Amino acid sequence: MSRDLSELSIAERRAVILERIAGAAKWARRDATDISFVAVSKQQPDAHIQEALDAGHRVFGENRVQEAQTRWGETFADQRQELELRLIGPLQTNKTLDAVKLFDVIETLDRMKLAGAIVNAAEKTGKMPELFVQVNIGAEDQKSGVLPGELPAFLQSLKTEYDITPSGLMCIPPFHEAPSPHFWVLSDLAAQHGLEKLSMGMSADYATAIKMGATHVRIGSAFLGAR
């Protein structure tokens, strides 16, 4: 069960979370070094980000391009070279160039038009981010992502039209449902298509996600505090 970490410092929470990640990896007979702890820094005050950096954290996820540009392109620009920055929120086509400039990884590729925009931006900048495909695992109307049934055709089109092979899949399960069945399905889809990486699991369920194969867990509030 998740412990209340709110009384701890950010450095202490980081240690507890890393321990839990190691525990879940051990349970699953996996190597903990294969699991990346992505700190979700959206909407967090600069002081919390600074504490995370001071504690040695180097991998951050953001869900809005503009907010991320301010944080990592201005406020903490001097740290940028040492960091891995991951876009985990929906990307509008008109923000693609900015996103490609800033992020090392875009986890939310979910339509062909966006793939085209990323390829154009990569040609302009000479920099192609690593890509994950977001899957709308619960087939929710309001959520972005490729529907599970449409994933095979989408992956095929990425390959034939742009010669893109994503490195993994990402999902956000429906808020009011148990996440495990959705994690299993995502894990299975990745295996079927030979994709190695899986971004799934957040503050409330990252240990479960790791037991089901997550390689990237996106942890915001449990690490950096309530937003």
Q: Which of 10, 109, 133, 172 binds ligand PLP (CB under 6 A)?
A: 172
5 binds ligand PLP (CB under 6 A): no
Comparing CB distances to ligand PLP, the nearer of 130 and 157 is 130
Closest CA to 13 of 31, 36, 46, 37: 37
Give the nearest distance from C-beta 120 to ligand PLP in angstroms.
25
Please report whether residue 202 would count as binding ligand PLP according to CB under 6 A: yes
Of the pair 212, 222, the CB lying nearest ligand PLP is at 222
Decide if residue 221 touches ligand PLP (CB under 6 A): yes
Extract the tokens encoding 165: 């092979």
CB atoms within 10 A of CB 50: 14
Pick the binder of ligand PLP from 21, 89, 136, 154 (CB under 6 A): 89
137/202 with CB nearer ligand PLP: 202
Tokens coding 187:
């894990």
CB of residue 220 vs ligand PLP: minimum separation in angstroms?
3
Out of 5, 24, 88, 114, which residue is the one contacting ligand PLP (CB under 6 A)?
88
Residues 28-67 close enough to bind ligand PLP by CB under 6 A = 40, 42, 63
| C-beta of 119 vs 134, nearer to ligand PLP | 134
Side chain identity at 222, as an amino acid letter?
A: A
Determine the Cα–Cα distance for residues 81 and 108; give it in Å rounded to an integer: 23
Tell me the window of 24-32, 173-181, 187-195, 216-224 that interacts with ligand PLP (CB under 6 A).
216-224
Cβ pair 187, 212 in contact under 8 A? yes
Q: Select 148 or 220, whichever has its Cβ closest to ligand PLP.
A: 220
* # residues near ligand PLP by CB under 6 A: 13
Rounded to a whole number of angstroms, the minimum distance from the CB of residue 216 to ligand PLP is: 10
Distance CA 217, CA 24 (A): 12
- Distance (Å, whole) CA 212 – CA 208: 7
For 101, the token pair is 């400039």
Q: Write the CB contacts of 35 (distance below 8 Å, at least 6 apart in sequence).
A: 21, 25, 210, 214, 215, 216, 217
Q: Which residue, among 96, 99, 95, 102, has the nearest Cα to 80 in the 3D structure? A: 102
Question: Which parts of this chain interact with ligand PLP (CB under 6 A)?
Answer: 40, 42, 63, 88-89, 172, 202-203, 218-222
